[in-house]
Structure 1
Amino acid sequence: MNLTDQTILITGGGSGIGLGLAEAFEKLGNQVIIAGRSQSKLEMARAKGFATLTVDMTSQESIEGLAKEAIQKFPALNCVIHNAGIMKNEKLSKGDNAEIATDTVLTNMLGPILLTSFLLPHFLKQKSATIMTVTSGLAYVPLSMTPTYCATKAGIHSYTESLRFQMKDTAIEVKEIVPPYVQTHLMGERQAYDPNAMPLHEFIDEVMSILKNNPEVDEIVVQRAAAFHQASFGGEASYREIFKSRNEFFLNARKAEWDSM
């Protein structure tokens, strides 16, 4: 992936990892367009000098409109970073998770698939293009407290693998960023200031370093996510131990939050 002189669309780019990537890519001389639903976040992005577009990632019509508007306003567009996502606890035994599950699947999984579909004809005409998904270490070792979130990230990982294989004879690169637990507002204030989470600036710096030093890499995996990413390679017993220990850790750490649901 060429890290300069690209025109990059980032969904969910108004905060957290998306904004961090937007700022990092802009510093390298790229044009970055931030897309999102929150008008307050888009206003803050515009105040930082970014172009912005509005999209509802739960709506096919809105996603198609985003693709058309982005191509029309930015004909040099040749990169998309699928970063928009939601993550919520679900106590499955309560049986009232339909709305959370639906919104999560639409936003985290179907949304990126649809946007890719709408952008592909344009990208295939470019001299080079990049499609980058943002999954999670939880795509490889799920967190039981957020089952639908983990399922969508596993689904996008699988989709990314298939997309990469289908694009292997084209000028389109397909990459996957695999974040660990990062200090963002994805699950609220607690996560943003949790000392157990990786500081956002450290995560962004490591991602950009990997891309700079190994531009051909398919999966951008920072060190803190490596154990999750590689869990299955150690055999079933090793995987089960990692799954058990991480889930017990988070259930204990968030006991009051979980018990109150």
Structure 2
Amino acid sequence: MRINGNTIFIPGASSGIGLALALRLHHAGNQVVIGGRRTELLADIAAQHPGIDTVRIDTTDAASIAAAAHEVIAKHPELNVLVAMAGIMRMEDWTTPGSFLENAEATVTTNLLGPIRLISALIEHLLGQPDATIVTVSSGLAFAPLRVTPTYNATKAAIHQLSETLRLQFAGTSVSVVELVPPSVQTELMPGHQDDPLALPLDEYIDETMSILESQPDATEVQVERVKFLRYGEARGDQAQVIAALNGFAAHVRS
């Protein structure tokens, strides 16, 4: 993926990693369109950052995704990059019957069906561009599970495998697939997480991500150094220790 000269649509970019990445890509010389549910927040972002366009989208709603895709293509026919950023992370205790199903279903709808529907809505257009990219967002937790977020872990593992498989299917076309693999980053993904001292500061994550995108335009996975502990535990042969450390840290933060 080239670092500038693109027209980029980022649903789920009204806060957190999505917004920070959108602003950096905007300043790098791309036309950026951000999507979110809260129109007043989108308007504030557009006012503060002239040149950024916005569209209302609810990535849990198939009709909203279709309408937003149509609007973005109509306004920006040169659109060539989709960053499927929207996601939620909720704690679940599957040992307590009746307590987890609602959160699990919402997580699957947002984290897995959302990107699938977005890609479906835009793939015909992207295949018609001379150079296009689909950017997916998995997680270090796709490779090492956090005990308290089982469905989040599962959806991110699914996004990883979806990315790997789509890369095979789109080989020989104009569409490439790039997977962002964030570690724990200081955002509001979960209550209090923005102040977690064990999470990577947001600016540091975006700095390293942009550096990788610029220096490795052919990268298929964007892995900052912090995530490699989780990403390669199985390959190193220390997966059990990685899982124990990850969940020990999580217990320490919650206590």
Give the TM-score category using the shorter length: over 0.9
- Residue aligning to 1:32: 32
In structure 1, distance between residues paired with 2:100 and 2:40: 28
Deviation at 1:38, TM superposition (A): 2.5
Q: Which amino acid aligns with 2:11?
A: T
- Residue aligning to 1:223: 225
In structure 1, distance between residues paired with 2:40 and 2:148: 29
Per-residue CA distance 1:102-150 (angstroms, 9 max, x = gap): 1110110111011101111001110100100111100111111111111
Corresponding residue to 1:128 among 121, 131, 147: 131
Deviation at 1:248, TM superposition (A): 2.1
- Report SS of the residue matched to 1:163: helix
- Gaps spanning 5+ residues in structure 1: where? 256-261
Corresponding residue to 1:148 among 148, 151, 165: 151
Whether the 8 Å contact between 1:7 and 1:77 is mirrored in structure 2 is yes
In structure 2, distance between residues paired with 1:227 and 1:85: 22
In structure 2, distance between residues paired with 1:108 and 1:40: 24
Corresponding residue to 1:166 among 165, 169, 173: 169
In percent, how many aligned pairs have the same letter? 44
Q: Which amino acid aligns with 2:100?
A: N
Corresponding residue pairs, total: 252
- Residue aligning to 1:80: 82
- Residue aligning to 1:14: 14
Whether the 8 Å contact between 1:140 and 1:229 is mirrored in structure 2 is yes
Whether the 8 Å contact between 1:15 and 1:41 is mirrored in structure 2 is no
Corresponding residue to 1:175 among 173, 178, 181: 178
Normalised by the size of structure 2, how large is the TM-score?
0.96
Q: Which amino acid aligns with 1:74?
A: H
Q: Which amino acid aligns with 1:45?
A: I
In structure 1, distance between residues paired with 2:64 and 2:232: 36
- Gaps spanning 5+ residues in structure 2: where? none
